């Protein structure tokens, strides 16, 4: 049974923490684990019974992994409540893009001739909505290796130098945190993306 407010059971959480510890060591990184105490009682009850020693709380874990790469750090953040985010600081870039899942509204607009940036890869173009300030740079960045990798992913967003990812390359997506092999692959592909910028 999943822990309250968590994506994991206690056994799954232990496996995820162990995997990120191993990955951190393998990539010569640093792992920081923080705990947040959550009081799940209604606010009115909390106010009335603030001194009650029998309060109902849960502790949720958050992990930050900093992996050295090209003189900076690739930061991975994951928690019991949110799937991983990969971030890498990139200064002095006038290039920006957003790649996000195409929703039903965008598909509907396409039926009526909405003009959307596409890269000429049917499966990729069908899955993702692209926005950029430099179409040719984005098309160059999205080589076959990156497109094939992204087609396998379930992402919320993949951004470079946007208002929500200022001076960063950021990827917020779902990965299998129970598989060391799959975690490694995501890290290596994100590094490849950094090198392509």
Among 103, 145, 95, 136, which Cα is nearest to 117's?
Answer: 136
| pTM recorded for the entire structure | 0.85
Residue owning tokens 């684990």:
33
Residue pair 98/162 in contact by the 8 Å Cβ criterion: yes
**Domain coordinates in residue numbering, the chain:** 1-69, 83-197
Return all residues near 92 (Cβ < 8 A) that are at least 6 apart: none
CA distance 91 to 161: 9
Is 109's pLDDT higher than 60? no
**Tokens linked to 93:** 């870039």
118 falls in which pLDDT band (50, 70, 90)? confident
* Partners of 22 in beta bridges: none
pLDDT at position 119, please?
86
pLDDT at position 26, please?
98
Write out pLDDT tens, residues 140-194.
Answer: 999 999 999 999 999 989 999 999 899 999 999 999 999 999 999 999 999 999 9
1 falls in which pLDDT band (50, 70, 90)? confident
Is 114's pLDDT higher than 50? no
HEC per residue, the chain: CCCCCCCCCHHHHHHHHHHHHHHHHHCCCEEEEEEEEEECCCHHHHHHCCCCCCCCEEEEEEEEEEEEECCEEEEEEEECCCCCEEEEECCCCCCCEEEEECCHHHHHHHHCCCCCCCCCCHHHHHHEEEEECCHHHHHHHCCHHHHHHHHCCEEEEEEECCHHHCCEEEEEEECCCCCHHHHHHHHHHHHHHHHHC
115 falls in which pLDDT band (50, 70, 90)? low
Is 108's pLDDT higher than 80? no
Q: Which residues of 151-164 are buried (b: 16+ CB within 10 A; e: fewer)?
A: eebebebbbbbbee
Is 54's pLDDT higher than 80? no
Mean pLDDT of all residues in 79-99: 93
CA distance 129 to 125: 7
pLDDT at position 41, please?
59
Residue owning tokens 């056994």:
11
pLDDT at position 113, please?
47
């Amino acid at each position: 049974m999943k822990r309250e407010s968590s994506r994991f059971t206690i056994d799954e959480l232990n496996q995820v923490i162990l995997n990120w510890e191993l990955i951190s060591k393998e990539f010569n990184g640093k792992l920081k684990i923080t705990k947040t105490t959550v009081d799940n009682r209604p606010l009115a009850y909390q106010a009335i019974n603030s001194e009650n020693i029998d309060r109902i709380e849960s502790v949720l874990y958050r992990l930050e992994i900093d992996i050295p790469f090209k003189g900076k750090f690739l930061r991975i953040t994951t928690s019991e409540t949110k799937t991983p985010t990969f971030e890498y600081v990139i200064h002095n870039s006038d290039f920006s893009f957003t790649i996000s899942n195409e929703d039903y509204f965008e598909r509907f607009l396409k039926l009526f001739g909405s003009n959307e940036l596409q890269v000429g890869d049917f499966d990729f173009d069908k899955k993702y909505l692209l926005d950029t300030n430099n179409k040719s740079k984005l098309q160059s960045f999205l080589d076959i290796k990156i497109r094939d990798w992204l087609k396998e992913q379930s992402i919320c967003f993949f951004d470079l130098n946007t208002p929500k990812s200022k001076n960063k390359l950021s990827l917020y997506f779902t990965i299998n945190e129970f598989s060391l092999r799959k975690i490694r692959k995501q890290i290596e592909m994100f590094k490849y993306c950094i090198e392509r910028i």
